[in-house]
Chains A and B, each alone.
Chain A
Amino acid sequence: MNEGSKADVLQGTLDLMVLKILETMGPLHGYGIAQRVQQVSENMLQLNQGTLYPALLRLEQRGWIGSEWGRSDNNRRARYYSLTAAGRGQLAVEAENWERMAGVITRLLQGT
């Protein structure tokens, strides 16, 4: 594996990723979310999976996600996170922000 080709997760983008993953995949435990991040990024992101938990905690404190105990596929007790109504709204806002930002950066890099 070439270490140099992996990018650190951008500050603040982890929240957006988590919210989006929960929107598309439905309730998911921490491991599932981490797997999904790796899968989507096709292993191009350098994610210490531990850093996911403080982010989950933060989102939960803001009321954007909720959590409850559930059973995993192989019958293991796991904490499942799901998007709340407020989280759905927040996702829309953040996604729009992101697109706007990405647009700016792209235009900047293309030099127009």
Chain B
Amino acid sequence: MTTLRTFLNKVSNLWARRRMEARMQEELQCHLEMLEEEARRRGESPEEARYAALREFGGVEQTKEICRETRCLSALEALLLDIRHAFRGMLRVPGFTLLVVAVLAVGIGASTTVFSLLNTLFYKPLAYPHPEQLVMMGEAYTRGQKEGPMAPVRYRDYEEWQRQAQSFDRIVAYRPQGFIVNSGGEPERVRGERVGRGYFEMLGVRPLLGRGFAAGDHLRGGQPVVVLSEEYWRGALGGRADVIGQTLRLDGSAATIVGVMPGRIRATLVEGGARIWTPLIPTAAELAYDKGSVSVLARLKPGVALASARNEMAVVSQRLAGEHPDPDRDFTIRVDGLQATLAAAASAPVAKVLIMAVVCLLLISCVNVSSLLLGRATERSKEVALRIAMGAGRWRLVRQFLAESLAFALAGGAAGVALAYLAIEWCSAKMGPLLANDGVDRFEIDGRVLGFALIVSVATAVVFGILPSLRGSRVDVSGTLKEGGRGHSGGSRRQRLAGMLVMVEVALSVVLVASGGLLLYSIRQFWRFDWGVPLDHRLTMQATPIERTYDTDGKRRVFYSQLLARARELPGVETAALVNAMPMHTGAYSMQVKGAAAEPAFAGYRVVSPGYHETAGLGLRGGRSFAESDTGDRPPVAVVSESLAAKLWPGAEAIGARVQVDGIWRTVVGISADVPQDLVRVAKYEIAVPYLQVGSRSMRVLLRVAGDPAPAATALRKVARALDPDLPLGEVQTLYAAKEQFGAPFEFVMGLLCTFAVTALLLAGAGIYGVTSRAVALRTREIGIRMALGAEPRQVLRHVLRGGIGLALAGTGVGSLLALMIIRVLVSKIWWIEAVPAVVWVGPVALVMAGVAVAAALAPARRATSIAPVWALRAE
């Protein structure tokens, strides 16, 4: 009770500070005057009386200070005061302040930038009501598979889930699909989704215009309807308000526009997000129970935990397993939070590397600032001694130093955020088109990012401020005051501290520069990856005919065979082939592949025509590619890439072995060269199957041309249009352009990393120089003594340099060890880096750092040894 009362009293005193201060002043003054009066009554002279009063009273200022501390929540009030004081102090040394703020701005700015990139892409909450209730559901590919892609769900299973599961508000299936839309001009291919009943209601999205889907829209044989995204409505239809009720041609027949949905809907991992939606009315093939066809989203009922939903689905899956026994199938139903699934992508190695890099950079700037402040603390020892004499306690001083650090950090943080704004602007401009694929318009700095910057600033203040404040507040009062504020010959402890800072700084910069350099090297390797033939002589074009017209695999095969035959006859075309996805683009085309090895692999799945490997420039390492004779009535065959063969049949012959993909067992007839797939996630695995044996709705034409690709591109479009006037023609792109597009995000990240690395190198170099030269300069007097005692300049120089080099080497050693560990991880994640001898990268950096340290030690040491000992002794 008393403590509470004391506390409240203190809090109220906080506001009445000025009044309390006046009261104390008056009271003490009154007391002193009374003492003085009494002394005068005793017969002392006025002056003597005043001294007597002061003697009897004790230290007036000390008393006031103790009173202040008793009176207040001293920490809080003093902190505010201290920060104000600190800001004022900063203005007194503008040059120093500018330096510190700039160094901090670099570190904080870089980390804020990276956080804002990651925040925009992964962490930002989905813009739906209660996003935490949204989950993705699907079957596990293998027993116990907890993350990564989910297997598609059988439509009839999905209906069972809806019937049986009680944990969910709604369970809704969807299926991404490319539609061919003609809204009055050329036919165009538009990414979209067929969605089950209640899809928009589940997400909690309200239409901008018109309505979502009604129950009747999902009935077979009803009037075809379509809902547009705001983006498509504005882009293709000019944002006209009267579109509701109008029709557009969708896959060759009329569909009525019933609604427009606002913004971007980013609920599924469909690349670029869906632009139009139609009701999901399952086809006969989708209703068949042989394989999964739909993806499933659901919203948990309020208050239902993810774990209990999982438990319920485990029961449902057991029931289903009982009804449809199948040894090849694992019935485990996965239920994953949607937000968490999107955020999980943030743990990709690239994100980790970026995070590591900014942490290194931030630490380097902290170390730099720390050493700057340490130096300043030495210079301020007189001021500190004076404060101690005036009654300031040790903690009071530590607090003041920390407040100064905080003031610096806040200023640095503000400058850092300004820097981050610029950087984000640049990143958005650079990454804009690519971002669209993630359903994001631009990177942005929101409240979360600002909060992050604030937290980082305060944290850095503690990191860089704690050492100088502990150090700076420990001052020998009478010694310092007597000396008139001249620093003593830098105690050995202070030197050891400076030495440790040098070590830390060298180690950090070695880590960052070495791994940054490795990645720079890796991107160079990516561009130099040998494709055998020039990429700009390879063209691809999407060619997907309308499903309604070409509704069977047979009809599509006829269409594609004709297209391929005509493409082969075009002038300048050497070879031509069909493929379902571009060589450098896997995305949704990853499939689970089983071979002899116990563990299946995920590989890029290519459905190709004969001539694919030749046209793509993928050499065969053994066996054969596909022939026109590999048709549906012949044994199923496949060609696997070299590393996939090594993975699935370790140490054994792959040709002739059996491999299962997409539910069918095939015989491996050939092994192809490795081909770049997804750069960081899956390494080099590819499996190709003949398109004459499987149906593929959507294929690309791939041409190899002899000369200028432009005429061939025009001719290809003409041939395709002649074959089918309703065919939407994609852009004809060279593989080189595809590669550029593919490499752009990586190039962007690498560019960012290299900027960080170079900045770190500069910062660390400057920091090491500063710390080392200061440490040596502090020893000027010691050097003078040595010289006076008869030491040779050369001996002294060697002695001083040995210390500097030792530190740099120690730092380099620690840094190299760390860097080697990190590099090993990086090499294992990025396929195109072939085991680079890390020494190549760590070595030069270590040398440079050691060189900087030596140079920094050399200059002041030279100066100290070249002057007369007497002057050296008088120095400082």
Contacts and interface: CB of A to CB of B under 8 A. Distances in A.
Interface in B1-19: 2, 5-6, 9-10
Interface in A41-93: 48-51, 53-54, 57-58, 61-63, 72, 76-79
Most chain A beta-carbon contacts within 10 A, residue among B5, B62, B70: B70
A31 interface: yes
Contact of B5 (A49, A54, A63): A63
A28 to B, nearest CB: 12
Interface in A17-48: 29-31, 34, 48
A54 B67 contact: yes
A101 B388 CA distance: 37
Interface stretch (B52-60, B83-91, B486-494, B738-746): B52-60
Given A31-B34, A53-B28, A62 B5 contact: yes
A77 B26 CA distance: 9
Contacts of A50: 28, 57-60, 62-63
A4 B34 CA distance: 27
Contact of B6 (A48, A51, A61): A61
Given A31-B30, A63-B2, A76-B33, A51 B23 contact: no
A54 B70 contact: yes
Contacts of B9: 61
Contact of B70 (A30, A34, A57, A63): A57
A91 B57 CA distance: 26
A61 B71 CA distance: 8
B34 A79 contact: no
B430 interface: no
Contact of B31 (A30, A54, A63): A30
Chain A CB within 10 Å, residue with most, of B2, B24, B59: B2
A77 B60 contact: no
Contacts of A77: 26, 30
A31 B35 contact: yes
A31 B36 CA distance: 11
B34 A49 contact: no
A51 B31 contact: no
Contacts of A72: 34
Interface residues of A, number: 20
Contacts of B2: 62-63
B390 to A, nearest CB: 14
User: Which residue, of B31, B35, B57, B63, has the highest number of chain A Cβ atoms within 10 A?
Assistant: B31
Contact of B27 (A53, A58, A62, A63): A53
Contacts of A54: 63, 66-67, 70
A21 B43 CA distance: 29
A29 B32 CA distance: 12
Contacts of A61: 5-6, 9-10, 70-71
Contacts of B34: 31, 72, 76
A51 B58 contact: yes
A54 B58 CA distance: 13
A53 B67 contact: yes
A48 B58 CA distance: 5
A94 B67 CA distance: 23
Given A54-B63, A54-B67, A54-B70, A29 B30 contact: yes
B33 to A, nearest CB: 7
Main secondary structure of the interface of A (DSSP, over half): helix
A31 B28 CA distance: 9
Interface residues of B, number: 26
Interface string B632-672: 00000000000000000000000000000000000000000
A22 to B, nearest CB: 16
A77 B31 CA distance: 11
B35 A49 contact: yes
Contact of B71 (A29, A49, A57, A63): A57
A58 B9 CA distance: 10
B30 A78 contact: yes
A88 B35 CA distance: 29
A30 B28 CA distance: 9
Nearest to A48: B58
A29 B35 CA distance: 13
B24 A53 contact: yes
A30, A48, A57, A78: most-surrounded residue (chain B CB, <10 A): A57
A36 to B, nearest CB: 13
B67 A57 contact: yes
Contacts of A31: 30-31, 34-35
A49 B70 contact: no
Contacts of A58: 70
A26 to B, nearest CB: 18
Contacts of A76: 30, 33-34
A62 B5 CA distance: 7
A10 B214 CA distance: 87
Nearest to A38: B56
Nearest to B53: A49
Contacts of A49: 31, 35, 56-58
Contact of B23 (A29, A34, A48, A79): A79
A57 B27 CA distance: 12
Contacts of A30: 27, 30-31
A83 to B, nearest CB: 16
B53 to A, nearest CB: 9
A29 B60 CA distance: 17
Nearest to B23: A79
A77 B27 CA distance: 9
A104 to B, nearest CB: 26
Given A31-B35, A57-B71, A79-B27, A51 B63 contact: yes
A57 to B, nearest CB: 5
A69 B572 CA distance: 107
Nearest to A60: B9
A50 B54 CA distance: 10
A15 to B, nearest CB: 13
B63 A53 contact: yes
A48 B30 contact: no
A29 B23 CA distance: 13
Interface in B64-115: 66-67, 70-71
Contacts of B6: 61-62
A34 B31 contact: yes
A70 to B, nearest CB: 11
A31 B35 CA distance: 8
Contacts of B28: 50, 53
Interface string B441-466: 00000000000000000000000000
A111 B184 CA distance: 114
Contacts of B31: 29-31, 34, 49
B459 to A, nearest CB: 35
Contacts of A62: 2, 5-6
Nearest to B33: A76
Nearest to A79: B27
A50 B27 CA distance: 11
A71 to B, nearest CB: 11
Contacts of B57: 48-50
A29 to B, nearest CB: 7
B56 to A, nearest CB: 6
16 contacts: A31-B34, A49-B31, A49-B57, A50-B28, A50-B60, A50-B62, A51-B66, A53-B66, A53-B67, A54-B63, A54-B70, A57-B70, A57-B71, A61-B71, A63-B2, A79-B27
Interface of A: 29-31, 34, 48-51, 53-54, 57-58, 61-63, 72, 76-79
Task: Identify the 10 closest CB pairs spanning chains A and B, nearest first.
Answer: A48-B58, A50-B63, A50-B58, A31-B34, A54-B66, A61-B9, A54-B70, A61-B6, A31-B31, A57-B70
Given A31-B30, A77-B26, 11 more contacts: A29-B31, A30-B27, A31-B31, A34-B31, A48-B57, A49-B31, A50-B63, A53-B63, A57-B71, A63-B5, A78-B30
